């Protein structure tokens, strides 16, 4: 079972939900935490894993052999991302714009281009408590293309473990890359008009991917009228409401997980997991 925890915008409590699920389940089964929010990974702040391995993640970008190049301009013409410019006596490359499609070195008539590795970030792995296998990615500063790093994190999926993905906020390529292929997606939202708008975008993204989903309302005031209307309109169940709680907020500020402040809520997260499983397999 692979569950992605997503939200249309940052700061809704996505990591709080993902970490709480992991900690709640760890009492009874093998759990894996995959932090795919590679621009701002923060699951480790709460799970405090002992990281044992650290590997660079690279993508192929073109390298020019100027002595073979005839400056024909073909590569610049076919690159959809304008990551190459051909001048009279040189080829300029802009690796930060390259999407590694491979078109330029495939089509270069002189074989003057070859793929060279460009480091975009790091994948780190270890264990948080005995039962939670932990993997996260860290995107290098200034790198704009994160999906290959998200892919590298997801590749570490262990079969047989209950896996939880902390997805990047938003609804663009990185979020899609993180959520695709999961069995179920939890959409975390806050009961505010802004929160609702982003929830709608996230719900549409998940629907387009053909993944079943449900809503978690964070900092709920117990009424959440607008979220309830949304839930009815879209036919998406509200699976959990996390009340606005001073102790939880204080724990968060100190880098402590929600379940450290409110251990009695463990049952609620276990129930949440069961509900996800039920809807996913339905």
Partner 1 sequence: MKIAISAPSKNPADPVDSRFGRCSFFAVVDADQEKWEFIPNPGASSGGGAGIQAAQELVKRGVRAVITGRVGPNAAAVLQAAGIKLYTAGGKSVQEAYRQFLNNELAPLTGANAMPHAGIRGR
Q: Judged by CB under 8 A, which stretch of 83-91, 148-156, 238-246, 256-264 contacts partner 1?
A: 83-91
Q: Does 176 bind partner 1 (CB under 8 A)?
A: no
185's tokens = 């997606």
Can you point out the beta strands (E) in 67-210? 84-86, 91-93, 113-128, 132-139, 162-166, 184-189
Question: What minimum distance in Å lies between the beta carbon of 83 and ligand SF4?
Answer: 4
Q: Does 83 bind partner 1 (CB under 8 A)?
A: yes
Q: What is the largest CA-CA distance in the chain?
A: 70
Q: Judged by CB under 6 A, which stretch of 19-27, 102-110, 125-133, 238-246 contacts ligand SF4?
A: 102-110
**Do residues 42 and 19 lie in contact, with contact meaning Cβ atoms separated by under 8 Å?**
no
Instruction: Kindly tell me which of 61 and 251 has the beta carbon lying closer to partner 1.
Output: 61
Residue 92 interacts, among ligand SF4, partner 1, none and using kind-specific CB cut-offs from 5 to 8 Å, with partner 1
Q: Does 223 bind partner 1 (CB under 8 A)?
A: no
Question: What minimum distance in Å lies between the beta carbon of 206 and partner 1?
Answer: 24
Within 13 A of 160's CA, how many CA atoms are on the CB side? 2
Rounded distance between C-alpha atoms, residue 59 and residue 119, angstroms: 7
Binding mask 103-122 for ligand SF4 (x = CB under 6 A): xx---x-x-xx---------
Q: Does 247 bind ligand SF4 (CB under 6 A)?
A: no
- 11, 28, 45, 70: which one binds ligand SF4 (CB under 6 A): 70
Cβ neighbors of 171 (< 8 A, separation 6 or more) are 8, 201, 202, 204, 205
- 63, 81, 228, 260: which one binds ligand SF4 (CB under 6 A): 81
CA distances, 92 to each of 43, 99, 113 (Å): 39, 16, 12
Instruction: Kindly tell me which of 105 and 269 has the beta carbon lying closer to ligand SF4.
Output: 105
Residue 23 interacts, among ligand SF4, partner 1, none and using kind-specific CB cut-offs from 5 to 8 Å, with none
| CB burial string 94-113: b at 16+ within 10 A, e below | ebeebebeebbbeebeeebb
- 28, 70, 90, 114: which one binds partner 1 (CB under 8 A): 90
Rounded distance between C-alpha atoms, residue 125 and residue 157, angstroms: 12
Q: Does 97 bind partner 1 (CB under 8 A)?
A: yes
């Amino acid at each position: 079972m692979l569950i992605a925890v997503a939200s249309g915008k940052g700061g809704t409590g996505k990591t709080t939900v993902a970490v709480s699920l992991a900690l709640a389940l760890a009492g009874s089964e093998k759990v894996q935490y995959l932090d795919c929010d590679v621009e701002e990974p923060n699951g480790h702040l709460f799970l405090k894993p002992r990281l044992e391995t650290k590997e660079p993640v690279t993508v192929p970008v073109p390298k020019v052999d100027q002595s073979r190049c005839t400056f024909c301009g073909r590569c610049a013409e076919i690159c959809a991302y304008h990551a190459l410019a051909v001048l009279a006596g040189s080829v300029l490359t802009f690796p930060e714009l390259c999407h590694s499609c491979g078109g330029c070195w495939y089509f270069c008539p002189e074989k003057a281009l070859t793929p060279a590795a460009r480091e975009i970030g790091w994948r780190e792995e270890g264990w948080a408590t005995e039962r939670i296998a932990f993997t996260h990615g860290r995107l290098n500063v200034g790198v704009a293309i994160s999906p290959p790093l998200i892919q590298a994190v997801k590749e570490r999926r262990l079969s047989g473990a209950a896996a939880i993905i902390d997805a990047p906020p938003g609804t663009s390529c990185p979020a899609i890359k993180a959520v695709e292929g999961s069995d179920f997606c939890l959409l975390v939202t806050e009961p505010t008009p802004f929160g609702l708008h982003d929830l709608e975008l996230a719900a549409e993204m998940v629907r387009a991917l053909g993944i079943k989903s449900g809503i978690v309302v964070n900092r709920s005031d117990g009424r959440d009228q607008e979220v309830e209307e949304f839930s009815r309109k879209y036919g998406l169940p509200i699976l959990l409401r996390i009340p606005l709680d001073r102790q939880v907020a204080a724990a968060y500020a100190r880098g402590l997980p929600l379940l450290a402040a409110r251990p009695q809520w463990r049952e609620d997260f276990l129930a949440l997991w069961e509900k996800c499983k039920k809807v996913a397999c339905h």
